[in-house]
């Protein structure tokens, strides 16, 4: 029983140890000299070792053939060594079991070159004319290649009767070979696997037959000068003697006045001209064989002018090479260099190498005039080269630390010398001062500060440079501050009677000055007047306090200075009677009352429709009464508008505004006769109108109050601090103010002012005033498309003045969408109400037909985005103007001032970006609203919630909650600053729109600091991007911060 178990165990072990091949070597093609591999792998490689056999014998590893793992690797297959069969043997070292693969072999493809040999006759000496010549090609390979025979480089075509080709024997048989068969014979074999191979040692067949013409004298190519003679020598030999002729342009040459053919075969050409040049053929004819043609070319000698040299400046103590371009000529001219009419040698410190002038180490003594000569048979040409040797500047007088007096000219010296006049550049705090008009740099390098200021006390650097190098010098300036008032006191100042008033006086100097106040007449100050630290305090101003007062500032090194101030005691202007809004019928009389008091007695003026009303130029129906009232008789709708009473004296001015509304008489009233104009009916009509208006106002105010409560509750959820976001009037906005859009509130206010049609009448008259004739527009080019329609550039006649033409921007309304039509009207109203140097002006409206046009101011350089890109461009054809940090700050400041004006008018832009600002050649920037979202700047807009929005310029609350305000414009302004300092790059350029949106939601997306942007301005941008709108600065703060920002802040 135990024996049976042992037997079963052995069988089980044997079954487990059976060797099975996963990969076996197989027969394959191989190229002689190329690598190959035979693979052998088993399923269970544990305890298995491999051995390779060739023709049954073990293979030893060599550099060309070795075992790599279980595979057999061939670095270069050899057709002799690697012929035969290969077998892989796998052996289990524990059980001793062995398995063998089937035999595999290589089909080795090879090709060996060889020579062309003479097979028949036995030697070349035995070759006779008209005998048979057999040539054999000793190129062989596997598989058997195909052969091709060549003579003198040309393939021998098949099917000729004079020779035959045997592929089997690899032979070429020439039957009846003669001199016509002479030439160099070689063969080429083309195998199926590799490229063609040519024979190495080839055979030259040269059969001599005396009856064939043989060249004895071969004519040579000739180059002669014009009108010189040319002689071609040519001679043939044969038995019997050959005949000979000359051809020129395939026409026979005979003895003429300028050509002579001699008996010995030579050709003489006298007075060679351009028409004589070309190829001449000397032809020999024998009794047998082909005619022998010998060619020679006749050319006229010529040489072109040499290209002139530009003067060269070479750096001293360095090696230099100067090339002289050889002019084209026949024959090729010879080139050499001369200095002082002597040839430059071919060796030494200064030498000539081919056509180059070489300086191994140039010195100042090598400077001067060098001449390049080129000559041939046609003549000689030359060009002079001026070489200047530049040395590094040396100091004559270095800049020195200096003390300069304030308000006087100051000088810093920087004197140097070199072989070339050095170029001097001055830097102030590392910034070049070449563009600053406050400084002048003289020819010798001295810096003049025209008027020394306190802030000129800093470090200056002078750089003196030539092409050979530069030197630097530093000087620190200490400004000796003068004794001065900061600021100078105003010479005439007013004090309000019976009020507490202070008058300030401050000064600075090299030492802190002492400041005192005295009365100019020498009398002492009254008891209720005191002064301390330069502040003169009046505890209660009386009439007797009028007079001249002197502020004295003094210190020991500089003495004293004085400033006299005349103080005037006045009663400031107050209104006793203020003008009130007035509504009258057309043709009736309107009166605005205005009375003011003060000491001196105030003078009253009136301003109507933004113009001062001059009493001497008023229409007869408009009068300003002695008591200050304004009376307008027989009023018309043209008189509607704002009227301002201005009351002022020498100390202050105050004004009050009131509106005049002119309405049409009711139709019923116009139809009745004079007897029906009863006071009762008038009172009844007015009472009903006022009652309806009051009721409407109450309803509107109730709705506003209700909506405000709902909105406040909503905001309290968003703002735990209870702070309410700013409410602003929007340009085509959706921002709610007390539950209503601002446009709706404005329309309601206009209606409720009169309770009648006067508001509509007023708006209609305003539109008539802005009307611009469509026929005065001449289209120049389309700029692009926006939400409203096409935006194009046009010439407008009479836009700026009555006669001239102006370049204008025209936005067209080509949509039927009611919301977009409303937005278009709101945008026109916004620009119509704005008046600022940094905001484009609305010049007119074309509404008499469709499409409606909005005519806006345009400036010459187009939008700011393109201007920034061009200034960054390296394309010289665009003539880019580099922008300094100072220029970039100026651009941002102007946009901030324009946006400050928008925000003061309670308008929100909603699409502030560089593409929506215009810039002039004087670099004046104007905020506009091109909004070319459809084509030109389509990539800068993102389709979100059925609208195209400038996603990369918008804050999170505007994108996600549709909440726009001045503070959302501030965020966009920060992105615009980033555009200016990157010169027009796309914000978040590496990110897709969806990634930008996700970043805004998470608050993790940030714009990087622009290269070269001062850190102070980067921090200002980051304040604009504060997550909470209330933490962002106002445009007034931004304009002030940018105005104070120095261009050379530390980056």
> Cβ contacts of residue 839 below 8 Å, gap of 6+?
831, 898, 901, 902, 926, 927, 928
C-beta of residue 915 within 8 angstroms of C-beta of residue 863 = yes
Peptide bond into 22 cis (omega under 30): no
The alpha carbon of 122 is separated from its chain's Cα centroid by a whole number of angstroms, namely: 81
How far apart (Å, rounded) are the C-alpha atoms in residues 500 and 7? Answer: 128
Candidates 299, 289, 298; CA nearest to 247 is 298
594-623 CB burial, b ≥16 within 10 A, e <16: bbbebeeebebbbebeeeebeeeeeeeebe
Q: Does 677 sit behind a cis peptide bond, omega within 30 degrees of 0 on the bond before it? A: no
* β pairing state of 259-261 and 302-303: unpaired
Q: Do residues 821 and 837 touch, judged by C-beta distance below 8 A?
A: no
Cα distances (Å, whole numbers) of residue 798 to 362, 808, 843 = 69, 11, 10
Work out the burial of residue 916: count CB atoms within 10 Å of its CB; fewer than 13 is exposed, 13-18 middle, 19 or more buried.
buried
Name the active-site residue from 456, 639, 911, 969: 911
Give CA 670 to chain center in angstroms: 70
- For tokens 């949509």, name the residue: 815
Q: Which of 1007, 1012, 1002 is nearest to 1024 (CA)?
A: 1007
DSSP state of 178: -
Is the dihedral angle over the CA atoms 908, 912, 916, 920 positive or is it negative?
Answer: positive
DSSP string, 566-605: EEEEEEEEEEEE----EEEETTS-EEE--EEEEESPPEEE
**In contact, 926 and 839? CB cutoff 8 Å:** yes
| Structure tokens belonging to residue 587 | 């043709």
- CA dist 982 and 18 (Å) reads 74
Residue closest to 72 by CA, chosen among 80, 81, 83, 62: 62
Helices 1035-1044, 1015-1024: inter-axial angle, 10-degree rounding: 180
**C-beta separation of 772 from 843 below 8 A:** yes
The answer for 587, left when phi > 0, alpha when psi is -120 to 50, beta otherwise, is: left
Torsion angle of the four alpha carbons 108, 111, 117, 122, in this order, in degrees rounded to the nearest 10: 0
266 alpha carbon, distance to own chain's centre: 73
Helix axes 885-904, 966-982, angle to 10 degrees: 160
Residues 6 or more apart whose Cβ sits within 8 Å of residue 245 = 252, 253, 282, 283, 285
**First-to-last CA distance in the chain?**
97
Contact 788/798 with Cβ under 8 angstroms?
no
**Rounded-to-integer distance, Cα 976 and Cα 361, Å:** 55
Mark whether 911 is an active-site residue. yes
Closest CA to 563 of 502, 645, 506: 506
Give backbone dihedrals phi and psi of 42, rounded to 5 degrees, phi first.
Answer: -115, 160
Helix, strand, coil % in the chain, rounded to nearest 5: 20, 40, 40
Give the active site residues. 911
């Amino acid at each position: 029983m135990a024996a049976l178990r042992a037997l079963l165990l052995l069988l089980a072990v044997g079954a487990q140890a059976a060797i099975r091949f996963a990969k076996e070597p197989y027969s394959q093609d191989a190229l002689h000299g190329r690598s190959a591999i035979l693979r052998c792998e088993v399923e269970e490689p544990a305890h298995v070792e491999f051995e390779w056999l060739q023709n049954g014998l073990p293979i030893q590893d060599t550099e060309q053939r070795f075992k790599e793992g279980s595979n057999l690797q061939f670095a270069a297959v050899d057709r002799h060594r690697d012929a035969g069969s290969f077998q892989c043997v796998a052996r289990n070292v524990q059980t001793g079991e062995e398995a063998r693969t089937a035999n595999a072999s290589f089909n080795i493809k090879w090709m060996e070159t060889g020579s062309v040999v003479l097979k028949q006759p036995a030697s070349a000496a035995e070759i006779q004319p008209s005998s048979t010549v057999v040539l054999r090609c000793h190129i062989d390979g596997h598989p058997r290649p195909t052969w091709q025979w060549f003579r003198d480089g040309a393939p021998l075509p098949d099917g000729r009767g004079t020779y035959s080709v045997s592929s089997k024997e690899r032979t070429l048989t020439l039957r009846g070979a003669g001199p016509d068969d002479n030439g160099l014979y070689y063969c080429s074999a083309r195998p199926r696997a590799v490229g063609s191979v040519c024979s190495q040692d080839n055979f030259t067949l040269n059969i001599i037959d005396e009856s064939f013409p043989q060249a004895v004298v071969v004519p040579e190519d000739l180059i002669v000068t014009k009108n010189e003679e040319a002689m071609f020598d040519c001679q043939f030999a044969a038995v019997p003697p050959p005949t000979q002729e000359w051809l020129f342009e395939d026409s026979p040459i005979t003895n003429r006045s300028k050509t002579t053919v001699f008996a010995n075969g030579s050709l003489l050409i006298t007075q060679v001209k351009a028409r004589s040049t070309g190829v001449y053929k000397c032809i020999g004819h024998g009794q047998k064989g082909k005619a022998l043609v010998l060619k020679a070319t006749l050319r006229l000698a010529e040489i072109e002018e040499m290209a002139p040299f530009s003067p060269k400046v070479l750096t001293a103590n360095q090696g230099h090479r100067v090339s002289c371009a050889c002019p084209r000529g026949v024959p090729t001219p010879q080139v050499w260099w001369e200095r002082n009419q002597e040839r430059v040698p071919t060796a030494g410190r200064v030498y000539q190498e081919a056509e180059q002038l070489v300086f191994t180490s140039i010195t100042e003594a090598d400077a001067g005039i060098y001449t390049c000569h080129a000559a041939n048979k046609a003549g000689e040409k030359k060009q002079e080269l001026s070489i200047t040797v530049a040395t590094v500047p040396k100091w004559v007088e270095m800049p020195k630390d200096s003390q300069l007096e304030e308000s006087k000219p100051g000088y810093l010296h920087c004197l140097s010398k070199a072989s070339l006049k050095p170029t001097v550049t001055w830097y102030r705090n590392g910034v070049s001062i070449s563009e600053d008009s406050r400084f002048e740099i003289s020819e010798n390098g001295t810096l003049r500060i025209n008027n020394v200021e306190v802030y000129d006390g800093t470090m200056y650097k002078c750089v003196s440079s030539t092409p050979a190098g530069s030197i630097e010098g530093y000087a620190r300036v200490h400004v000796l501050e003068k004794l001065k008032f900061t600021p100078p006191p105003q010479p005439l100042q007013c004090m309000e009677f019976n009020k507490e008033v202070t008058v300030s006086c401050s000064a600075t100097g090299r030492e802190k000055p002492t400041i005192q106040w005295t009365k100019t007449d020498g009398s002492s100050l009254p008891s209720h007047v005191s002064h301390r630290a330069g502040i003169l305090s009046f505890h209660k101003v009386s009439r007797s306090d009028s007079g001249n007062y002197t502020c004295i500032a003094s210190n020991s090194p500089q003495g004293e200075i004085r400033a006299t101030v005349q103080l005037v005691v006045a009663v400031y202007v107050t209104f006793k009677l203020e003008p009130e809004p007035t509504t009258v019928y057309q043709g009736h009389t309107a009166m605005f009352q205005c009375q003011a008091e003060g000491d001196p007695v105030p003078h009253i003026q009136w301003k109507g429709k933004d113009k001062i009303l001059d009493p001497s130029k008023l229409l007869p129906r408009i009068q300003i009464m002695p008591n200050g009232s304004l009376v307008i008789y027989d009023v018309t709708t043209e008189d509607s508008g704002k009227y301002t009473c201005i009351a002022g004296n020498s100390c202050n001015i105050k004004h009050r505004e009131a509106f005049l509304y002119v309405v049409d008489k009711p139709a019923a009233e116009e139809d009745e006769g004079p007897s029906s104009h009863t006071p009762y009916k008038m009172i009844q009509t007015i009472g009903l109108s006022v009652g309806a208006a009051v009721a409407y106002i109450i309803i509107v105010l109730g709705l506003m109050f209700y909506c405000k409560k709902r909105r406040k509750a909503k905001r309290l959820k968003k703002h735990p601090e209870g702070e309410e976001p700013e409410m602003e009037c929007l340009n085509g906005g959706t921002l709610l103010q007390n539950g209503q859009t601002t446009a709706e509130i404005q329309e309601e206010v206009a209606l409720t002012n009169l309770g009648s049609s006067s508001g509509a009448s007023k708006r209609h008259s305003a539109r008539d005033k802005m009307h611009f004739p469509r026929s005065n527009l001449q289209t120049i080019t389309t700029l692009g498309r926006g939400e409203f329609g096409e935006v194009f550039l046009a010439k407008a006649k009479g836009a700026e003045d009555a006669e001239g033409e102006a370049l204008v921007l025209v936005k067209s309304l080509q949509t039927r969408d009611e919301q977009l039509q409303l937005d278009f009207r709101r945008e026109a109203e916004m620009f119509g109400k704005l008046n600022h140097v940094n905001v484009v002006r609305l010049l007119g409206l074309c509404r008499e037909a469709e499409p409606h046009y909005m005519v806006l101011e345009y400036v010459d350089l187009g939008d700011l985005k393109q201007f920034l890109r061009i200034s960054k461009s390296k394309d010289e054809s665009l003539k880019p103007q580099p922008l300094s940090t100072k220029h970039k700050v100026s651009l941002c400041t102007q946009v901030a001032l324009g946006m400050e004006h928008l925000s003061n008018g309670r308008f929100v832009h909603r699409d502030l970006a560089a593409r929506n600002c215009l810039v002039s050649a004087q670099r004046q920037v104007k905020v506009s609203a091109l909004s070319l979202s459809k084509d030109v700047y389509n990539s800068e807009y993102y389709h979100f919630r059925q609208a195209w929005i400038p996603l990369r310029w918008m804050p999170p609350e505007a994108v996600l909650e549709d909440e726009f305000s001045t503070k959302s414009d501030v965020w966009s302004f920060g992105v615009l600053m980033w555009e200016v300092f990157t010169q027009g790059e796309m914000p978040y350029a590496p990110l897709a729109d969806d990634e930008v949106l996700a970043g805004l939601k998470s608050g993790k997306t940030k714009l990087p600091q622009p290269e070269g942007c001062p850190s102070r301005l980067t921090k200002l941008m980051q304040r604009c991007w504060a997550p909470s709108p209330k933490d962002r600065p106002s445009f007034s703060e931004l304009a002030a911060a940018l105005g104070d920002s120095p261009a050379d802040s530390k980056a």
